Amino acid sequence: MEAMPENWVIDKSGILIISVMLVQLTSVSDNEFMVTIDQQVKWVMDNINKFKDTYGETPRALVMLGHPMRRDNIRPFFDKLEPYFYDPGWLLKGDVLPGMDFPVLYFHGDGHNWEVDTRLQLYDELNWELFYDVMCDMGGKAPPITLEFRGSDDAPFVQERTDQFIIPDKNGEGIIRIDRRGGTYNEARVYEQRYPWPLTSTN
């Protein structure tokens, strides 16, 4: 993105993973920041449309990586993005637009206390089905989280440990598995001994 060179996007297993720049510096006015929000909404939608043009269908899920929590100055980003997923309807929402019935996740660190927030799914909020706001732990509290994306031919994910959270697709079947990997960094080695990575040392 020319206006925001720090933005990036990749896709994995039909899932679009994209960064969004939603940090308002103290030197940036509210009007200037609204321009940034409009740019970020366009950036997200341009990449969804590019994905569709490339693969002939919309993503199976959208994962957005940002920093700030949904503060008042950030909320317009979600308010402006939601109409691309739903027809304007009576009161809050109409029918989901064709191909846009996939889960949307917003990951951020601001707040630094683990939470999977589904409040924007509520009728008196944005009434945005399949929207998840995921707040990550502070770095000293736990090892980095892991994300697993279900392949198109794989069985749906299920929860295997209490630190895991399953994100369902439009059919209610687990498409993303988030593992908080609870515990502190001092306990990370013990964790890896219990749940080792697939790679093994050649030493």
pLDDT in tens, 132-186: 999 888 777 777 888 999 998 999 999 998 889 999 999 999 999 999 887 665 5
Most confident of 4-8, 184-188, 192-196: 4-8
Is the pLDDT at 191 greater than 50? The verdict is no
Q: What confidence score (pLDDT) does residue 186 get?
A: 59
Q: What confidence score (pLDDT) does residue 202 get?
A: 44
Q: What confidence score (pLDDT) does residue 143 get?
A: 78
In 3D space, the residue among 37, 111, 29 whose CA is nearest the CA of residue 79 turns out to be 37
CA 178/CA 165 separation, integer angstroms: 5
Is the pLDDT at 68 greater than 70? The verdict is yes
As beta bridge partners, residue 108 has: 135
Most confident of 80-94, 124-138, 153-167: 153-167
Contact 114, 144 (CB under 8 A): no
pLDDT tens profile 26-57: 888 989 999 999 999 999 999 999 999 999 99
pTM for this prediction: 0.84
In 3D space, the residue among 145, 149, 148, 119 whose CA is nearest the CA of residue 132 turns out to be 119
Listing DSSP states for 55-73 in one string gives HSS--SEEEEE-SS-S-TT
Is the pLDDT at 199 greater than 70? The verdict is no
Quick one: pLDDT band at residue 127, thresholds 50, 70, 90? confident
As beta bridge partners, residue 63 has: 17, 105
Q: How far is CA 82 from CA 44, 75, 87, 92, 126, in A?
A: 12, 11, 9, 11, 8
Q: Which residues contact 183 (CB under 8 A, 6 or more apart)?
A: 142, 143, 190, 191
Quick one: pLDDT band at residue 117, thresholds 50, 70, 90? confident
Quick one: pLDDT band at residue 193, thresholds 50, 70, 90? low
Per DSSP, 94 falls in state: -
Q: What confidence score (pLDDT) does residue 185 get?
A: 58
Is the pLDDT at 189 greater than 80? The verdict is no
As beta bridge partners, residue 64 has: 18, 106
In 3D space, the residue among 170, 150, 51 whose CA is nearest the CA of residue 104 turns out to be 170
Q: What angle do CA 38, 89, 69 make, to 5 degrees?
A: 40
